[in-house]
Structure 1
């Protein structure tokens, strides 16, 4: 066993020796290789450095070539733009405009920033391009105006409208038909004709809004001028109140078109036309208000003669209230526009109500002055009663009542009744005094009293004669007086009958025996109560016989 281990030790030592030898040999080989690689690196390194330098030069050349290519391409675009600009915009407007945009882009680019000669050339080309563009646009606008403006004017004439300066001197009666045609033409022009022209201009200058606007303004200018000139001629005229309704029709029609006109002429190129159109509407409103003020003035100054032997509804009353009613029924909304458009607050209609109230109150004041011209006080009250009643009834039956204060009609109905009572007092109270007999015992008086009590037959007969005389005279004097309104007429008759018949009947009942059975009974008891009733029932019809039936 020891021999075996001895052999193994020897073998192991031999192997270690050989491994050490091999290791020393490899170290020697690697040392030699390292020396060779160092020598090789010294040899190759200059070549590598030279190759890197060549790469950098190549990259610089590439960059320079790319810059040159950009420069050449821009320069080529400049040359091409120069050719297009020389030809002008009339051949291809879109290409011409694109070229201008490209030149502007080149003018602001970095490519030619350090080359003043190229930059100057670009700017010269731009100036020339803009100048030619302006000339072309002027040519296009002129051509469009020459073709379209006369066509628009011809269309207006075909619609029946043609403005002539001599229209300013025509009487208003001759203008009514032309006014209707003008309003019709205005509607067609605003709602159709001018809108179509605007669309045409936008197609011609598609995408160039400012030029499309200028084209449109140029094309319609003459036509708009003709239409507005007629309107301004109308507002400069003096409009008497009887023609106010025509003026209100014009104002209403153009006011309804106002928003469409403002939208149609919204662009800056149309500003002057838009301002003139807006001002024309304001002038129409002003002229209408002046005409209404003139109407009120005419009412106040009316001094037409009238029949002072009767008290019917005065022509002024009929005219004013019919006029007033027409304003309220047909032109109420227009009047609100005229007076209250700019009003604000809790009572936006107050201005209009104030104006209408002034008209009515001016009429009543004039009627009061007219009533003082009657010689008969009773007729004066009858006149006021008839006329104010006519006004009240007309207002109650029309929408014009909405244009006045709510208490105006009730207040003036009371005034009607007050004048009826005043008529009764002035006209009939004196005759009732003949039926009152002074009683000696009491020192008082009572209608129909005093049957006996020391009153003489002759005194009673004198009372009968006084009543007969005054009654006949009163009936004769009032035979032509009228109360046109049937309801008021019946009420007034009833008022008279209720005052006269009881007093007369009572007087006959108490004192008739003084004259009954005498030879001259008819001289004293001339009218029976039913005769008085019949004659009162025939009052206020004008021209009807008031004598009792036999």
Structure 2
């Protein structure tokens, strides 16, 4: 009814020769309403780049959050409603309704859609990636409506501003992705993680990438025409079965970032003086990577083959740890534990085995395996291998050697159960009460 009344008034004034006065009053009143509505939505007057760069990022984030809420209301309700109202009230004249809508909405719209471009021009840091993607998604999602509402030639600058902001945001994301990759490659930390645990770089990178995977649609647009410049292509073996490989630009980009991390971790593993610990470090970190991929949208891009292949790699690292960490203990026993040997030889084997086991146990008491499943798998595997060799030897030579028998076969599992928690408090087998000493 209000729209019908306004149209009737406008038609009457225009037909009576007061068209200019009608349009002037309409523009003045409606523009003030639009400007006031934008103000209440939290849309500030044009914020300069220098002013924005002086703000703490937390303050900029608050402004971005306000803008994200405001832009949806502004496009879907405020500008959309204003366009409908202008088209209805001045339906008798195309030129008048275009002129009215342009003058009423153009200034506010340019301020609204100019804000993301200003943000995109700010200094690029990894922490700004996700808010930049939020801005990109918001404009990208609303762009069809923006182009429809501001379809007049006189509002072409509004359409151009929205598209330009989208382009600048995309450029900013590409810059930050490049900087992120470079930061991984140049990570300067030389300190080893105590106990071979998960490196802070692994946690940071995988948490970051898994969050990026939540912006897959926006990233797909941004990297679509931005090929990954590699000296050599990613090996097919890195993905798994080529027939199931999703070789979209965004999938390749994710695969590459993870590969850059894994290569960096290989270098950090070399910082450990103990080879067994270096393999445990690789197993722990790759397990963390695989778990992150499996539990996030990254799995949609890297695929099941990638996950399965790298889970096998975790098992290989764990197997290498077992071989290097317990070979001295196992080699202290005869190659054939069931072979006939003299009591003196048996006593000597018991002494060597006890000393080697104590040494390995003490050294590894501060080592860690954070993932419960991997921890149990390694313990079971080590216990099975040690138990098989030592159990056969013990059964064959359980009489005679006397006080040199420090462990019963069942004791080994008890000692191993304390490993990989990294507390180091069980660093000596003497902390256990052995029911077999002096047996």
What range describes the TM-score normalised by the shorter chain of this pair? 0.7 to 0.9
Q: Distance in 2 between matches of 1:490 and 1:206?
A: 76
Q: Distance in 2 between matches of 1:509 and 1:221?
A: 91
Output one character per residue of 1:71-111: Cα deviation in whole Å (capped at 9) or x when no partner. Answer: xxxxxxxxxxxxxxxxxxxx975477xxxxxxxxxxxxxxx
Q: Which residue matches 2:418?
A: 538
Q: Which residue matches 1:384?
A: 282
Question: Structure 1 residue 402 and structure 2 residue 288: aligned?
Answer: no
Question: Structure 1 residue 502 and structure 2 residue 388: aligned?
Answer: yes
CA-atom RMSD in angstroms: 3.0
Q: Do the aligned partners of 2:387 and 2:409 also contact (CA within 8 Å) in 1? A: yes
Q: Which has the higher contact order (CA 8 A, sep 6+)?
A: 2
Question: Structure 1 residue 423 and structure 2 residue 307: aligned?
Answer: no
Q: Distance in 2 between matches of 1:459 and 1:92?
A: 118
Q: Which residue matches 2:39?
A: 157
Q: Distance in 2 between matches of 1:348 and 1:395?
A: 15
Q: Which residue matches 1:296?
A: 181
Q: Which residue matches 1:411?
A: 309
Q: Distance in 2 between matches of 1:512 and 1:93?
A: 115
Rate the CA distance shift 1:462–1:226 in 2: closer, same or farther, 3 A: same
Q: Which residue matches 2:3?
A: none
Q: 1:549 aligns with which of 430, 433, 437?
A: 433
Helix, strand or coil at the partner of 2:196:
coil
Q: Which runs of 5+ in 2 are unaligned?
A: 1-11, 228-243, 435-439
Q: Which residue matches 1:172?
A: 57
Q: Which residue matches 1:258?
A: 143
1:144-293 superposed matches below 5 A: 145-163=27-45, 164-165=47-48, 166-202=51-87, 205-293=90-178
Rate the CA distance shift 1:245–1:500 in 2: closer, same or farther, 3 A: same
Deviation at 1:305, TM superposition (A): 4.7
Q: Which residue matches 2:352?
A: 466
TM-score for the superposition, normalised by structure 2: 0.82
Q: Distance in 2 between matches of 1:425 and 1:475?
A: 14
TM-score for the superposition, normalised by structure 1: 0.66
Question: Structure 1 residue 486 and structure 2 residue 372: aligned?
Answer: yes
Q: Distance in 2 between matches of 1:227 and 1:354?
A: 35
Output one character per residue of 1:335-364: Cα deviation in whole Å (capped at 9) or x when no partner. Answer: 344445999xx9987111111111211121
Output one character per residue of 1:308-354: Cα deviation in whole Å (capped at 9) or x when no partner. Answer: 541112222222223333333x43444344445999xx998711111
Q: Which residue matches 2:341?
A: 451
Q: Do the aligned partners of 2:52 and 2:119 also contact (CA within 8 Å) in 1? A: no
What is the count of residue pairs matched by the alignment?
A: 401
Q: Do the aligned partners of 1:144 and 1:219 also contact (CA within 8 Å) in 2? A: no
Q: Distance in 2 between matches of 1:207 and 1:424?
A: 85
Q: 1:312 aligns with which of 189, 192, 197?
A: 197
Structure exhibiting the larger radius of gyration computed from Cα positions: 1
Q: Do the aligned partners of 1:448 and 1:503 also contact (CA within 8 Å) in 2? A: no
Rate the CA distance shift 1:266–1:513 in 2: closer, same or farther, 3 A: same
Q: Which runs of 5+ in 1 are unaligned?
A: 1-90, 97-132, 437-444, 516-520
Deviates more, 1:178-187 or 1:318-327: 318-327
